[in-house]
Amino acid sequence: MAYLALLGGTPTRTESWPTWPKADENTERLLREVLFSGRWAISGMYGGRAPFERQLAEQFADYIGVGYCVPVCNGSAALVVGLQALGVEYGDEVLVPGLVWVACASAVARIGAIPILVDVEPETLCMSVEAAERMISPNTRAIMIVHLYCGMSDLDRFANLSSSSGLPILEDCSQAHGARWNGRAAGSFGQVGAFSTQDSKLLTSGEGGLTVTSDPELYSRLQQLRADGRLYQSAAPQLNYPDLEETGAVQGHNYCMSEFQAAVLLDRLRHLDEENSIRESNVSYLRRLLAEIGDVTPLQRLPQVTTATYYHLCVRINRAAFAGAPIELLRRALMAELGVFMEPIDDPLNRNRLYNPLLSPRTSDEHRPLLDPSRFVLPEADRARDECLTFPHFAFLSNRQAMDQIAEAFAKVRQHRHELESISLS
Ligand SMILES: *Cc1c(COP(=O)(O)O)cnc(C)c1O
């Protein structure tokens, strides 16, 4: 008789998990307000009050503690306009972590620039400062740092690297809404901060994105880049006329966020800190349980992280203690025990099937060898791929009992590890 749920044994947890995304009557009220407001986009007519998009921009800038925010249609667009605002051009090199969601690198390639894949720190899985420094060349124009899963990039050391090299930082916070480093919000460290508000993120409108900056010049460029060269006019708006002004000082594109998305975000932003703190408290409890069990170690929380976020809780597993089972088999065994979807960590971008810059029809012969992802060597990213698993953030909006069950599932799979030897992965 098998004990493991994967082989027909009794699962460790049968209760349901919290669902995501969340909405309530207030979300509904704001959506209805947009619906009958006569304005669904910032390119619509001024209706006598600031569009939701502007209200959101003001509140989010305040929340991050920066001067300005420009909402956009998704996180990838936030990276594109962020890079362009910073002056990254065709053929320029941009340092990108070698272990992240594909959009971080493909956004760079999209504007004709060259993503330079940099290996990560084993403790946080964020870009390694030493590796980044080694990869800087005379063609480097920017450094894209990404706060990944539950970790933060070492912002003190990247700030030093930025000032010693003169390279601006684009700070991708798509997995760290509300995280704080010495009390200061993620997104306020880079010259431009970028956020995705896609369905799975800690702050979501289904699709959406946000850029932030404290530099008025960058703010003006970001606005025009995302609205076909238009920005909010400085003169008082006139009722039932557009309130965007056509400047054309920058070649922009339409990356605008709709009023519906902005309304949802305005509502959900009010819940972010509380949700982050529930997750933080549950994960602290789980960290203690896992430390007692051993062989399962959550990624390190650097001492400067004063508010940690848990887009994914990422744990590293000592596979030797699990009879050397492949990480994919452990993932399936744990999912069967717990009944929750656990995403594998991203494939390193030098061997990620979603990252194919050479397939882009516009790639020049001159750039092909530079864009080839397989030229980059990423040993720590590779090792992490074979040893790490993640839990989704909504699992930590549950209770202590669920944390007990997560810990119990690891102990159970380890105890009955020999049952896994009979399973072949197809
Ligand atoms: C989700 C994500 C993106 C892309 O955002 P989209 O809204 O899906 O375009 C970019 N960077 C990181 C780190 C992400 O997690």
Residue of 221, 287, 271 whose CA lies nearest to 248? 221
Element (H, E) at 330: helix 327-338
Asked if residue 298 has its Cβ within 6 Å of ligand 1, the reply is no
For residue 165, count other CB atoms closer than 10 A to its CB: 14
Alpha helices in 166-258 (DSSP H): 216-226
- DSSP-assigned letters across all residues of 101-120: -THHHHHHHHTT-EEEEE-B
Instruction: Provide the CA 256 distance to its chain's centre, in angstroms.
Output: 19
SS3 sequence, 41-107?
A: ECCCECCCCCCHHHHHHHHHHHHHCCCEEEEECCHHHHHHHHHHHCCCCCCCEEEEECCCCCHHHHH
What is the model's pLDDT at position 210? 98
Asked if residue 75 has its Cβ within 6 Å of ligand 1, the reply is yes
Residue to mutate (ligand 1; options 170, 198, 226, 343; most atoms within 8 A of CB): 198
Q: Are 224 and 247 in contact (CB under 8 A)?
A: yes
What's the 379 CA to ligand 1 centre distance in angstroms?
24
What's the 202 CA to ligand 1 centre distance in angstroms?
12
Q: Which residues of the chain have pLDDT under 70?
A: none
What's the 209 CA to ligand 1 centre distance in angstroms?
9
Tokens of 244: 């965007």
- DSSP-assigned letters across all residues of 6-24: GGT---S--SPPPPSS---
What is the model's pLDDT at position 218? 98
